[in-house]
Every structure is written in C-alpha cells, then in structure tokens.
Amino acid sequence: MRAFLPVLCAVVLAGCASVGHNTSKPSSAAIPATEAQTNIAVLRAQAIASRMDEAKITKLRKSGTPFLAVRTLSLTPEQAVQLKHLLPSGNPAELICVVVWSAVTDKAVSNECYVLPTAPEVGKPVTLGEYTAEYVGSR
C-alpha cells in the first residue's frame, strides 16, 4: 500500500495540472508562405541586421538561437481561408505573418509563415514552431 500511495498522488496531481490545457486556441499557426512574403521578410531581416552593431550581430550568430522573427506581408485571401479552421475565433484580417530568418545562413529557415494573433514586443524572444527567435517586427 505504501508504494501505491505515491503513484496515486502523482496520477491525481498530473490530472489536475492538465485540466483546461486542451481548450485554449493555439498562439500561432504555421502555413506555407508565399514567395513574396519570404522575399520581403529576408530583405527586412537583412536591413535590420545591417543596422545592428557588430557586437550584437556577432553574439546573435554565435548563440544557440541565431534567428530573427520578421513581420512580412499580410495574409493572402487563400491563407486567410486556411486560418479560419486553425484559429476559428481570430479575425484573419487582424493576424500577422512572421518569417524566421537565420543570421548564420542569411536566409529564411523554411517556407513557413507563422501566423500570430498579435505582434510580440520588439526585442523579445518568441517561439515559432521549433525556433526561438528575437522578434524584430518590420522596422
């Protein structure tokens, strides 16, 4: 009985900890980016990186997360249709599209557009799929 009690407590506590987590809407969704969205994001990321001081860009390149999250063009009507199923309570016209850019390769890391309900704070890290990137907006 003594060995069973800790297991029972762990099961009960684990069940309590997971209550309500399945009901929240996703904070981001990934959809294929258009060529224009990817190109604009890369141009913006390169411009932003070129304005960073050399120490910051060197630190970014040497870090374990050498990525910038760059806001790109608005969603296309086709993308908005896809998102109605992914983010049913969000208004697709108000969502933003973000592309992840690598400071090491000087390219977008994928052909994905990460769609967010609101823009993160500039300079703060944001997790997009498997990447953690510094959000730089479109400045």
- For the stretch 70-123, pLDDT in tens is 999 989 988 988 887 766 666 777 789 999 999 999 999 999 999 998 899 999
What is the rounded CA–CA span in Å between residue 27 and residue 36?
24
Query: Do the beta carbons of residue 130 and residue 67 sit within 8 Å?
Result: no
**pTM as predicted:** 0.76
Check residue 15 and report its DSSP letter. H
What is the rounded CA–CA span in Å between residue 55 and residue 62?
11
- Residues near 120 by Cβ (< 8 Å), separated by ≥ 6? 69, 126, 135
Mean pLDDT (whole number) for 32-49: 96
How does residue 19 score in pLDDT terms, banded at 50, 70 and 90? Answer: very low
Mean pLDDT (whole number) for 37-60: 94
What is the rounded CA–CA span in Å between residue 27 and residue 29?
7
CA atoms within 13 A on the CB side of 65: 14
User: According to the model, what pLDDT value does residue 1 have?
Assistant: 44
pLDDT tens per residue, range 58-71: 999 998 889 999 99
Q: Which residue has the tokens 């050399």?
A: 54
User: According to the model, what pLDDT value does residue 101 have?
Assistant: 97
